[in-house]
Amino acid sequence: MRLVKLIANLGYGSRKEIQQAIRHGWVTDREGNALKADAKTAHEDILFDDEPLDPAIGMVLLLNKPLGYTCSIKDQGKLVYDLLPDRYRVRKPVLSTIGRLDKETSGALLFTDDGALLHRVISPKAEVPKIYEAELDRPLNGSEAAVFASGELMLENEHKPLKPAELDVIDDTHVRLTLHEGRYHQVRRMFAAIGNHVNTLQRTQIGKLDLTGVAEGEWKMLSESDVAKVFG
């Protein structure tokens, strides 16, 4: 891929803007030598304004999503993309969330531009476990764990029961719930189905990947070993 197209696809600017950056000598190799538009330099050795280029296709990010942000670029108000560098919003291929968290749910949210990886994570066959911590409106009655683990719980307006889920009790109104599928507003609807209400909800873990070292509103680029944790 030509240098201009490569850098433009990473979101650093239009092709015209990248051509101008090359003419001004802002695109260099690691030794500081200005690169021409037809340079054959390896991706990892190219600098833009003295900084290494973002990764090519296959980039994976983990965001610790705060409350009040939505995942769809079609929504109004604050978007999760507002927490990332502006150029990430215009990368080609597009940088997409792997699944979603609603506006009132915080915690672990993955992004990638690798379509195969995205579908691998969200595939029902993968059954990637996702762990949530919830604060409930009313104390537990003691039957919830058995109901959720039964594989027989049916949500309103659905015709297929939920897969078994594991409930760990933190205290009377705080729980940790592990899901192996991802239906619309699933945690909230599960508790509604048994007569309770979720006041606060955070996703703390995807597979074995947790939020260690990632403060609320912050994000990090994942390594191959990090991504492997998603699958166990």
For 49, what's the count of Cα atoms within 13 Å in the CB-facing half-sphere?
Answer: 7
Q: Which residue has the tokens 């600017």?
A: 13
Q: How far apart are CA 232 and CA 210, in angstroms?
A: 12
Q: How far apart are CA 102 and CA 202, in angstroms?
A: 10
* Token couple for 225: 């070993």
> Catalytic: 102?
yes
Q: How far apart are CA 88 and CA 86, in angstroms?
A: 5
User: From the candidates 29, 49, 86, 102, which is the catalytic residue?
Assistant: 102
Q: How far apart are CA 8 and CA 17, in angstroms?
A: 8
The gap from C-alpha 164 to its chain's centroid, in whole angstroms, comes to 24
Sign for the pseudo-dihedral over CA of 222, 223, 226, 232: positive
Q: Is 115 helix (H, G, I), strand (E, B) or coil?
A: helix
Q: How far apart are CA 29 and CA 52, in angstroms?
A: 9
Q: How far apart are CA 151 and CA 49, in angstroms?
A: 55
Catalytic residue numbers, as ranges: 102
